[in-house]
Chains A and B, each alone.
Chain A
């Protein structure tokens, strides 16, 4: 499956993508067999763009993050595809070239900020070693100045440099990690659930800091997570993953307004909205095991709009307007997903009014979870 283009809305055509992922495959070789945690994933990221990567646990989000850093550990390995950052092909680099590319070309904000810092050395030394290894020509005073500079950039006091990680709060630790990630001004930063261990207030502050630095330094950000609400606020492009494949990718407003994959649609409608009270609608079932994937479309076992063709053929990528790409057989059906959803809604409305006549139903038609 390949999505050749991310939305180019707002980006002048002809601009080169800063991160270009083509047919990326990651396989894990286990005793139970080979499993493909990342299956022909392709997307482009342009300078200054923010791409969100969402999906359930086990859908391959973090595998992509590790694959982009080329840090997949045995028994896993990148079994195909290409990752380009600017003109540098990360997949073709030697181990040592890749080592020097980390944080310099492609930065990372770790998932577990609470435990990502070395507990026995000071913050200063932890920022210093990343500066020294990538820019060995810096003098001592230049390094010290840079440390204070990046700490200021993430809104931390200079005194933090002399502290140990256990003396910082969770939000401060995450800020230190962000400082390390931007210290060398990479072209791309991968933020793997950067706020998963933080409370909502700190989460908001940390995301604001990432957003501000992203704008100031024109860094492209890949934000990985499963918080659709956070994604809606932060990213301008969204990629939805399911069982290691890209289900749908496109500009966030388009994706929320008119999803073209049932999974995206169900993810969005499972969000609570202020205007609508009632029962939450989740997505029934669980992600299939990567060792026992269904034939044809991987989502068909949980899809409410499943058709005959879904079990025999894997859907191909279909491009819509504005760089919106989805892989679903419904795209070939007249009316598409929207047609199905509307038909369902009409049926429900009829049922509601029938109930209302009997005096048992709830008033008001069901509203789709809009996030505009």
Chain B
């Protein structure tokens, strides 16, 4: 891999982050006619059953506090500087709390189930798909195709609801929702960790069931195509063992488009994971985003969106830098 390319790709990453931050800055300011501070204050005072006469003073005070009285260019510079320091502002609904802290609290939950679900479904789906396409693999595997097709056609959250209905509501094998039992305090004891895994089972299962089929079908298609390649025939003529041909020649080559597929669908997977969290009331980023949307917590919404863009940007950067290692034909010199 060429260093020039790596530098270029990292610069591109920062350019995308800058663009995302700018859009994040501009969009709420384009939404005229709604003033989140005023709306928030009105909502709170109505909850209190008392309309303060000094509402305008309070609005003004908060505007100064959030720096909204400054001219736009200055606000922009301050915003970029804060973003660079991972300061995404303070939440409107949970006021003094920083958005970054909210994200930090929700992140481990999401990271846990989403990375587990993606890694499991990708690995499982890829191996399964490759085997289905392999003529010398057990025949029985071919019967899994209709099931995979069915599951890959059902969205995550619907599958989540179905699982909740059968396994949590009817059979009561799993909890209906939440990240841990109500009333327990998170700790690193064995008992709590078991409960944690127990609660994470259904949400991850719904993600794994829904996406394994897609990976398997994609991989199966690639393996079928690759078996028509001359190098597969030649590998057989070389007298190589079946497993060497399968992994070293078949899967190795079919993995290339599969990896591209992973990179392309990552955004969708994360969005889907968010919905699963909402369905299961799981205390992750998805649920946080859901709550923020219903409560008009603008700063948190924008913070999460920006955070997701950064995450996706980093993952794609890593995949892009890894790609020439798995496909030597990719030459970045001319790119």
Contact = CB atoms under 8 A, between A and B. Distances in A.
B244 A118 contact: no
A120 B330 CA distance: 10
Contacts of B328: 119-120, 164, 166
Interface stretch (B57-65, B140-148, B246-254): B246-254
A129 B231 CA distance: 14
Q: Which of A121, A129, A177 has the most CB of B within 10 A?
A: A129
B240 interface: yes
B237 interface: yes
B56 interface: no
A342 B247 CA distance: 62
A60 interface: no
Contact of A118 (B237, B239, B248, B256): B248
Main secondary structure of the interface of B (DSSP, over half): helix
A69 interface: yes
A121 B248 contact: yes
A133 B240 CA distance: 6
Interface string A161-173: 0001010000000
A100 interface: yes
A116 B244 contact: no
A116 B230 CA distance: 5
B230 A71 contact: no
Contacts of B241: 99, 133
Contacts, number: 72
Contacts of B256: 120
Interface in B247-267: 248-249, 252-253, 256
A116 B231 contact: yes
A180 B238 contact: yes
A103 interface: yes
A324 interface: no
B240 A110 contact: no
Contact of B239 (A112, A119, A134): A134
Nearest to B227: A73
A128 to B, nearest CB: 11
A164 B328 CA distance: 7
A129 B238 contact: yes
A117 B234 contact: yes
Contacts of B238: 102-103, 129-130, 133, 180
B69 interface: no
B234 A116 contact: yes
A121 B229 CA distance: 15
Interface residues of B, number: 22
Nearest to A192: B237
Given A100-B239, A120-B327, A129-B238, A115 B252 contact: no
A325 B123 CA distance: 59
Given A120-B327, A164-B329, A133 B244 contact: yes
A166 B239 contact: no
A108 interface: yes
Nearest to B234: A116
B329 A104 contact: no
A115 B244 contact: no
Q: Which of A100, A102, A118, A180 has the most CB of B within 10 A?
A: A118
A318 interface: no
Interface string B219-239: 000000000011101111111
Contacts of B51: none
A198 interface: no
A116 B238 CA distance: 11
Contacts of B233: 71, 110, 116
A103 B253 contact: no
A307 B241 CA distance: 53
Contacts of B253: 118-120
A303 interface: no
A117 B231 contact: yes
Nearest to A134: B239
Nearest to B241: A133
Interface in A62-113: 69, 71, 99-104, 108, 110-112
B158 interface: no
A69 B231 CA distance: 15
A180 B240 CA distance: 12
B61 to A, nearest CB: 63
Contacts of B252: 118, 120-121
A11 to B, nearest CB: 28
B173 to A, nearest CB: 44
The 5 closest A-B pairs by CB, nearest first: A102-B239, A116-B234, A115-B230, A112-B230, A164-B328
Interface of A: 69, 71, 99-104, 108, 110-112, 115-121, 129-130, 133-134, 164, 166, 177, 180
24 contacts: A71-B237, A99-B240, A99-B241, A100-B239, A102-B239, A108-B234, A110-B230, A112-B230, A116-B234, A117-B234, A118-B231, A118-B248, A118-B253, A119-B328, A119-B329, A120-B256, A120-B327, A129-B238, A130-B238, A130-B240, A133-B238, A133-B244, A134-B239, A180-B238
